[in-house]
Amino acid sequence: MVHLPDMRKGIPVSPGVAIGTAYCIHAIFVNPEKGSVAEGEVASELARYEAARERTAADLLALQDKVAMQVGEREAAIFAMHASILGDSAFTHRIRSWIAHDRMTAPAALSRLLDEYTALFSRTHDEYLKERLHDVQDVVVRLSAHLSDVLKPNSDALEGPLIVVAEELLPSQVVALGNIEVRGIVTQAGSQTSHAAIIARSRGIPAVSGVAGILRQTRSGDTVVVDGRHGHVLINPDAETRSAYRKLEREFFLLRDQWAANRDRPATTLDGVALSLLANINNVQDAQAAAAMGATGVGLFRTEYIYLTHPSVPDEQEQLARYREIVDAAPDRTVTVRTLDIGGDKTVPYLGHHHQEANPFMGWRSIRLSFEHPEFFATQLRAILRAGAYARSRGGQIRVMFPMITTLEELHRVRGMMRRACKQLEARREEYAVVPFGMMLEVPAAAVAIDVLLPAVDFVSIGSNDLVQYLMAADRDNPKVSHLCQPLAPAVLRTLHQVIRACGRANRPVTLCGEMAGQPRAFPLLLGMGLRSFSMSPAFVPSIKDLAAHLDIPRCRDMLAHALQLKTTANVKRFMSEQLKRIAPDLAAMDTA
């Protein structure tokens, strides 16, 4: 690929090439081109702001009551603080003044206010005050959401397929995208396992993350090229460059359509070994995509997206309704549900968002947070158990697994909580099913002690995204060290080989459900290790099924034996790239550089 002067480089996170019109999403969804109102519109803009302010105040009051009831008074206090910020006279006076005297729109005034607070708090070394900036941001986002159709582009200003350009794409923003035709995604922050990356791969959308300064360099309406395999982004390229990339775009879509045609073909290797290709999903749309792409079930349902996209706190009935929808949409009505995996890069205000941690990925998150809120956790467990009965009645099955398990004591504790949830349902005379009990293997300590943990579980799912960053002691979202988070690193391959062999010896089913499962260079090595169950973004199922048909197990074992002798990640990647070009040249287009 020739380097072009106007090319921006980022992290390739979802393969393919896309060309479209830029739609820039700023922190609070303010369109900078729509920042002023006419003199005769000032009164109506003030009224619009007041109406949004009243609705936001009502939201916060309802949230405070609901969180106090479902989680606790201490956790609900954050919303009382947000209400006090909303009601602060200086906060309100500034907004009203800018609308009345500077003729700013209410969203533009909120954007200006947030800029002022950000500049003010950036000068302080007081951690408590810095944390308050997050509270101000939360209030501004709530107000802004009531002021506009979030993320709904102006059809007069933007035409054709869109390239979304953002700091990072949050779950709530993705929901707001609705049915807009998004052709590509570019973000300033993020990594190969960020929200934007996961969402892009689940939809088969080319994407690049970690493009520094892209929001300053791009305006809504610009023509943008996204090369999701090499991590390149071009803004307003010349006609010759556009033509070259349109050819690559057509070739990518043609390949994808060819692979999608094999959706009804069984997933087997060249020598007839049957495989299970499952899907990672966030919502019912992903489950439908999994069925359309030929997956044989859902290997990972990330339930945290129910919480992240909910306006308040989902109760048991709401969660049960979502699980039933997923069961009905999933291939074979088979779903593996992961319990709440909040923390790290995914937070909700009522579960510790206001408690900043120096190392959030290794802190108060996932199962640790669930233990801290047993009644809140019990609500989810009851909903899952009830959904298990529903799946059974529909000829399917639900399995439950728990994230970030580190010790045998944690598994015993979860078992006890499951038994208590069953007793609660029995007391209420609710129908439920005893579901298979599994663990996510993400922590190196669990990998080392896998033989101790296996007797306590029915199955194992390897979460390679977190396992890789913990093994390499490198935050995958930190651009300074994210280059260390390589699934093909020798330490990662050796650890996975040990874990998969241990599961085989103990006769425990094992699935790998990190993004590694859908990477063509990694897939033959995992087959060589003995893995037969893979869970990936729905869009990758057809291409991986095609790759499997080109592979036989003895050859995969030979590739693994050679790869395990290599001493550097670069050598493993080079070796597997060469192998992939020989085995299935077309599939090289589906692996990121």
Q: Write 232-235 long-range contacts (CB < 8 A, 24+).
A: 232/1, 232/7, 232/8, 232/9, 232/10, 232/208, 233/7, 233/8, 233/9, 233/10, 233/186, 233/208, 234/4, 234/6, 234/7, 234/8, 235/6, 235/8, 235/22
Q: Which residues pair with 428 in a beta bridge?
A: none
What is the DSSP pairing of strand 7-9 with strand 11-14? unpaired
Cα–Cα distance list, 19 to 47, 164, 225, 237, 379 (Å): 40, 11, 5, 10, 45
- Supply angle C-alpha 520, 526, 527, rounded to 5: 95
- Supply angle C-alpha 61, 66, 68, rounded to 5: 95
What is the rounded (10 degree) CA torsion for 543, 544, 548, 550? 40
**Distance, CA of 430 to CA of 35 (rounded, Å):** 54
Do 290 and 267 contact (CB within 8 A), yes or no?
no
The burial of 179, by beta-carbon neighbours within 10 Å (0-12 exposed, 13-18 middle, 19 or more buried), is given as exposed
Q: Which residue has the tokens 């009851």?
A: 382
- Residues belonging to the active site: 195, 513
Q: Could you tell me where the DSSP H helices lie in 456-538? A: 464-471, 490-505, 523-529
The number of CA neighbours under 13 Å toward the Cβ of 465 is 23
- In 415-532, DSSP assigns E strands to 437-441, 459-462, 510-512
- Residue 153's nearest CA partner among 115, 132, 134, 180 is 180
User: CB neighbours (10 Å) of residue 50?
Assistant: 14
Do 307 and 340 contact (CB within 8 A), yes or no?
yes
- Residue 323's nearest CA partner among 433, 405, 419, 465 is 433
Q: Which two tokens stand for residue 451?
A: 């033989």
Q: Which two tokens stand for residue 107?
A: 């969203």
Q: Which two tokens stand for residue 403?
A: 């994230």
Sign of the alpha-carbon dihedral angle for 568, 571, 574, 575: negative
What is the rounded (10 degree) CA torsion for 307, 312, 313, 317? -100
DSSP secondary structure of 345-405: TB--GGGTTTS--SSGGGSS-HHHHHHHSHHHHHHHHHHHHHHHHHHHHTT-EEEEEETT-
Tell which phi-psi region holds residue 16, choosing left (phi > 0), alpha (psi between -120 and 50) or beta.
Answer: left
Q: Which residues pair with 104 in a beta bridge?
A: 36
**Distance, CA of 545 to CA of 537 (rounded, Å):** 13
